[in-house]
Amino acid sequence: MLELSGINAFYGKAHVLSDLSFDMARGQVVALLGRNGAGKTTTMKSIMQLVRPRGGSVRFEGVDLVGLAPHKVAKLGLGYVPEERRIFTDLTVLENLEVGRQPRRQGTTFWTEDMLFDLFPNLAERRSNRGKALSGGEQQMLTIARTLMGNPSLVLLDEPSEGIAPVIVEQMARAILQLKSEGLTVLLSEQNLHFAKAVADEAVIIEHGTQKFAGTIADLDARPEVRDAYLSV
């Protein structure tokens, strides 16, 4: 469904991603793992064309995304949840969801407010609250819910467990597993290995923008030396 091949990305003269390659099948949850600054966010921005790769290809359902405008990438069925959340703080929860609404997309779940409130009960209780009244974890839930209103077939989640309370982290894990059961494909970037192992089928580890491991979670568990080398603090 998604294939990155030989991606190189730069910020000015700084070479951030070096020949990065991996792929995802439909319905998978894949965790992009690495320490802070490893290149995880840049990878997601390169997929969305917010950072334009210099060389290589990013193919989504057979379409090369390189060079497309980010809004055209989104219209193909990719949803991006940035680490910064970026909700509309002066709008209510319902109004934020309405901003993200897109027409029904063939072959994907058609998300409604009621379905999203079932997925994130905290938001149901606060549907009339303005975004600025929500906790950090609730803002993260709202960002994901707003993205789902676009009816994507693949969602990129950047650090979904970062900086939120443990009880919300558990709710987030259950929500991601529910998304998987709905047939959604998910790429999430994470530093929290425990969280990633709870939701992901496969993992890709990067260090300084270079792939160091790709395989199943069981494969990663069987190679503690890889975990210690690239994920330990």
For residue range 177-221, list pLDDT tens digits in order.
Answer: 988 988 899 999 998 888 999 999 999 999 999 999 999 999 999
Stated pTM of the model: 0.90
pLDDT exceeds cutoff 90 at 53: yes
Q: Is 216 helix (H, G, I), strand (E, B) or coil?
A: strand
Write out pLDDT tens, residues 55-91: 899 999 999 999 999 999 999 999 999 887 788 989 9
User: What pLDDT shows up at residue 104?
Assistant: 79
User: What pLDDT shows up at residue 83?
Assistant: 83
User: What pLDDT shows up at residue 108?
Assistant: 78
* Contacts for 66 with CB less than 8 Å, ≥ 6 apart: 49, 52, 53, 56, 57, 58
* Contacts for 232 with CB less than 8 Å, ≥ 6 apart: none
Write out pLDDT tens, residues 18-28: 999 999 999 99
Share above pLDDT 70 across residues of the chain, in percent, rounded to a whole number: 100
pLDDT exceeds cutoff 80 at 163: no
Q: Are 46 and 7 in contact, with CB atoms under 8 Å apart?
A: yes
User: What pLDDT shows up at residue 85?
Assistant: 74
Q: Are 30 and 201 in contact, with CB atoms under 8 Å apart?
A: yes
Q: Are 140 and 164 in contact, with CB atoms under 8 Å apart?
A: yes
Check whether domain 27-52+69-230 has CATH 3.40.50.300, yes or no: yes
For residue 191, count other CB atoms closer than 10 A to its CB: 17
User: What pLDDT shows up at residue 233?
Assistant: 61
